[in-house]
A and B are shown apart, each in its own frame.
Chain A
Amino acid sequence: MSSSLSALLPAFWVVTLITAGLNTIITMGLYFSNSAGALSACHAALAGVGGYVAAVLTTNFDWPFPVALLAGAVMGFAIGMLLALVTLRMNELVAGLTTLAFGETMVIIAFNLDYIGGANGFMGIPLQTTFAAVYPLLVLVVFAAWRFDRSRLGYAARACRDNPRAAAAMGINVPWVKTLVFALGSGIAGLGGGLRAHYVLVQNPDDMGFFFSLNYLIFWVFGGSYTFWGPVFGAMFLTILPELLRFSLYDRFIIYGVILTAIVIVRLQGVITRVPLGRRPFFVAWVSRLWRRPVPAASLGGSQGGR
């Protein structure tokens, strides 16, 4: 598979596409986790935990790769469930901050555990992840998200996000749905982390920090947090965009930042939403947004997010 692929695509694009696929899987985890109204700022940490677990199992215990991946996902699921139980009663913002602090705590723990390499990171991981391993799994995850959106659990999760009180009145077990959905997403992030560890071949503590989690949050919100195509698009587009901008090596992240900001301003709820695209040209839309009358901050939260 990968040999026939390299005949079709230059090696550079294979690398980029695999990276994009890995990012997409982890961002899909974020989509699941946040679909019931939680706000996770620690998906890089959950992915990192999955990566450490899978890497230790394949490297030190010679477990087969798929089983190790599964173990990483299960570990992510378990930790996600714990985290969801802890943050259940908090409001959205505070829950997000707790996950932030949790992620940084994981960095510090990994930093001080000599068994997994400490500050140098865990090295010597065998190369297992190929294009042929990433994309079927990605398709599987996206398919799961598609089914999830139309399942009882998916509807329940969205009801919890939009209005937990009404959801509870309709007989939805809100704490259970929120916990389960968060844990599912964490498991997917753990899976993606395991895949990434066997591709990058080193698992660093720093990869679990807030600034990596922030990337996934950006992918998720940028693409549109209400449909499962949103995160897929966001992660793919924003991973590939800097590579497309390589023609100017020094300015590419400047352009990246400007494009990110401009698109968020024009598409306030992410690129892919159920709101139809406007007919106005991009620049006109942005300029007209500058004169938009902001909603007073106190009446926030009703339209999206909820509390």
Chain B
Amino acid sequence: MEQFVQQLVNGIMAGSTYAVVALGFGLVFSVMRVVNLAHPEIFMIGAYVAFVVITGLHVPDAGLDVLAALAVFLGVLLVAMLTTGAAGLVLERLVIRPTRGTYILTPFIATAGVSIALQNSAQRLFGPDPVRVPSVIPAYTFTLGGVRVSSMQLATFLTAVAIMLALRYYVHSTRWGRATRAVAEKPDVAAACGVNVNLVSQLTVGIASIMAGAAGVALGLLYTSAAPFMGLLYGLKSFICMLVAGNRHIEAIMAVGLLLGVVEAMVTGYISSNLRDAVAFALLLAVLFFRPQGLFGSYEV
């Protein structure tokens, strides 16, 4: 039972970053009907920004007191979010806008080219091997009734939750969020009502990229590594989370991200770590078989 609760907690902690990356996929897909294959690479950029900033600051490994560590963590997060947000805006302007609205695979292939270029640029700049991201958060383990949570896990989880709450607030309670929902629902009608569809689309990719960048920082610090091809499998799994949930509800994507993390942790803990990566695909196959529109909502092409 204790092991079960421990795996549950681990799964929720790991799954929260899946949820954040999946939300980015979902946002962009809902608003533009575009599968942004460069999204995982933006996530990878986030992890590398963390690496560059932290090694550049010469932060002593786990030698900071709590407040300084928190300040460094938030600073890194901010820099990474600004970088990836800018990257997202540029990506939308140069690649997605000229290709969208034609055939669903055209922006897909165009962003695939961007993703190949970004992966290999990272490889060129930082080498093919994973680099070590120093952990700024002091290693500390909280124990509650036999269940252990490390401080880094907690930081990752809290970051993810904060991002999800912020996104929820943006989409449901702001003017721009309402415009975003309108474009997702009916772009032509939204345009007729005076919504600047292009600007909303660009902002959406920017926001999705900001979220991916934050997730990249959190994950880079959690596993203390960043690698050029880290986005591949991670992005694919997050994409599957989005598909399993359907793109109608933000909450559904969050829930499925957490669910995937938990199921993966359970499979690792009770069956075998070899099968861990198979879980996502099994989940997708099962859901598509019974509910081809996703668990909680439809994706109309």
Contact = CB atoms under 8 A, between A and B. Distances in A.
Interface residues of A, number: 54
B173 interface: no
Contacts of A260: 109-110, 112-113, 116
Interface in A233-277: 250-251, 253-254, 256-262, 264-265, 268-269
A301 B102 CA distance: 8
Given A254-B121, A258-B113, A261-B114, A98 B98 contact: no
A214 B119 CA distance: 16
Contact of A258 (B101, B117, B123, B300): B117
A222 B98 contact: no
Interface stretch (B5-13, B48-56, B248-256, B284-292): B284-292
Q: Which DSSP category, helix, strand, loop or mixed, fits chain B's interface? A: helix
B33 to A, nearest CB: 4
Q: How large is the interface on B (under 10, 10 to 19, 20 to 34, 35 or more residues)?
A: 35 or more
A284 to B, nearest CB: 13
Nearest to A220: B105
A34 B108 CA distance: 16
Nearest to A251: B124
A290 B117 contact: no
A94 B292 contact: yes
Contact of B95 (A91, A92, A94, A261): A261
Contact of B99 (A218, A254, A264, A296): A264
B223 interface: no
A218 B301 contact: no
Task: Determine which residue in B100, B105, B112, B120 has the highest number of CB atoms from chain A within 10 A of its CB, and name it.
Answer: B105
B117 A254 contact: yes
Contact of B117 (A90, A104, A253, A298): A253
12 contacts: A92-B104, A105-B282, A105-B285, A210-B236, A217-B105, A225-B105, A251-B124, A253-B119, A254-B124, A294-B198, A296-B197, A300-B104
A-B pairs with lowest CB-CB distance, top 3? A257-B117, A260-B113, A261-B113
